[in-house]
Amino acid sequence: MKILAVGDVYGVAGIACIEQRLRALRNQEGADLVIVNGENCAPGNGMDVRGAEAILDSGADVITGGNHSLRQLSCHSFLEDEPYVLRPLNFPDAAPGKGYCIYSGVYGYRVLVINVQGQIYMNSTVDNPFIGVERLLTRLKGQYDFAVCDFHGEATSEKAAFAACFDGKISAIWGTHTHVQTADERVLPGGSGFISDLGMCGVEESIIGTRAEQVVKFYKTGVHARYEAAEGRTVFCGCLFDIDPQSGRCLSVKRIRI
């Protein structure tokens, strides 16, 4: 089973990139399940209904989120109602939405899709992602055939530690949030596929999707202004995991950058 994981979709340009490229890439690679991080698909910041629906209409099966998932108030009921649109599992229990789903639309296999947020350098209060996922896997034992996880975090060390902790228990683990694709894709000793960060879908000549000159000004002056999305040629980043659904072992990991 081939699972295509797509990096953070950033703003209007990111949505256009997804609309132009996702379905064709899905067909080209023969992806059976497509999971896209959409936490910043709204103009400005966060996720909105229009952006999320555009991602789903473009060929995504599941949307994952991150620290900005709840930024747009208008999206809260959408997170509650849509079974395959997620926010991090370790958000407070009272937060709208859910942190996992079980997707059974591929050959009858039950794929547990988990979304979790890191704690290091994230400036937000979330529960321990390691403990939260351990509890989830124990609680859902026997209800899924294999699991995959989007770890939304800043520190590559935390992502790598999470992957080492769940090697052999979660078939594919990928990082999101930094918008910078890493070159460490591999199959871990226990059989889990891993990459520290998928990268993003957004404007290539930018600082993680925003206008470079605004970010440079902030670093020179310390004065923070509201960032604006960059314009120009887009980049599409993701990773393809080939998984044996019977054993749950990842057979190969292919990094994608278009």
Q: Give the tens place of pLDDT for each residue, 9-66.
A: 999 999 999 999 999 999 999 999 999 999 999 998 899 999 999 999 999 999 999 9
Nearest to 145 by CA among 111, 101, 171: 111
Residue 125's pLDDT band, with cuts at 50, 70 and 90, is confident
CATH topology of domain 2-257: Purple Acid Phosphatase; chain A, domain 2 (3.60.21)
> Which one-letter amino acid corresponds to residue 73?
L
18/202 Cα distance (integer angstroms)? 9
Q: Give the tens place of pLDDT for each residue, 206-241.
A: 988 888 898 898 889 988 777 888 889 999 999 999
Nearest to 106 by CA among 171, 203, 182: 171
**What pTM was computed for the model?**
0.96
Q: Reduce the secondary structure of 165-212 to three states and give it as a string.
A: HCECCECEEEEECCCCCCCCCEECCCCCEEECCCCEEEECCCECCECH
Count of residues making up the chain:
258
Give the residue extent of every domain in the chain.
2-257
- Cβ–Cβ < 8 Å for 185, 253: yes
42/13 Cα distance (integer angstroms)? 10
Helix (H) or strand (E) holding 31: none
Residues carrying an active site annotation: 68
SS3 breakdown of the chain: % helix, strand, coil, rounded to 5? 25, 30, 45
